[in-house]
Structure 1
Amino acid sequence: MVAEGRQRIDKWLFFSRVVKSRSLAAKLVVAGRVRINRDKAAQASDQVKPGDVLTITLERRIFIWKVLGAGARRGPAEEARTLYEDMSPPPAPKGEAPPDAIPGLREAGSGRPTKKERRQTDRLLGED
């Protein structure tokens, strides 16, 4: 039997609106993109309980959520937000590059040739 307050990770991810379906939630867990208290969730049937900390890796985003309760249904977003506490660090501003990123430098005129320059090259090589 299931202990009170515990729920399958795939159901919880579906109810908290991380993914659109339980099958996608199961695929996310099996792919190793969900951690429960720093341990990788091995199966979709792993249990979560209030107080567990989940690390969820999606495309270009990492969520760190503390489970506050088990869900009963996939309701509206306001209801889903009551299932977790968001502990994720704030995202980096879009306009700023990471401090260790080196900007791509190119000499003037070294890019792709214009149509005029390509025609001049073709004439020079005799490919009219």
Structure 2
Amino acid sequence: MIVRNLKDAAGTSRCVTSPSSKSVRLLLAEDGMGFTFNVTTLKPGVEVQMCYQHHLEAVYCMTGRGSIEDEATGTVHAIEAGTLYALDKHDAHVLRSDSALELVCIFNPALVGTETRDASGGYPLIENPIQQD
């Protein structure tokens, strides 16, 4: 059983910050669950272009308001508390925050934890053999 507290994890290497966001990675590849579970806070007034070529992502908005634009179609969807979006086709997208957005993000395959977005707006695929006890 794995039990972690968001506040406790925020003070560790599981907390990754960028100029636009803070992401606390509560589950990583080393945990052996097969996916990553992040709580990410996007600052207000931010626009981030992303495309995860190596990962699928599902995102649930806990608080805040913003939008996501599908770059292939130009369609813009509002995001607010209770909204889920899933990037099931490695969709290129632009995420915009009108206010601070607190998001729960699930990645598959799992992140190792050291990844940062590259020039394509995604994370590299880093192989990490799961440690067995």
The structure whose residues are more often helix, as a share, is 1
The answer to whether TM tops 0.5 is no
Relative contact order higher in (CA < 8 Å, ≥ 6 apart): 2
> Counting strand residues as a fraction of each chain, which structure ranks higher?
2
TM-score, normalisation: structure 1: 0.28
Give the alignment's TM-score, normalised by structure 2: 0.28
Tell me which structure has the larger Cα radius of gyration. 1
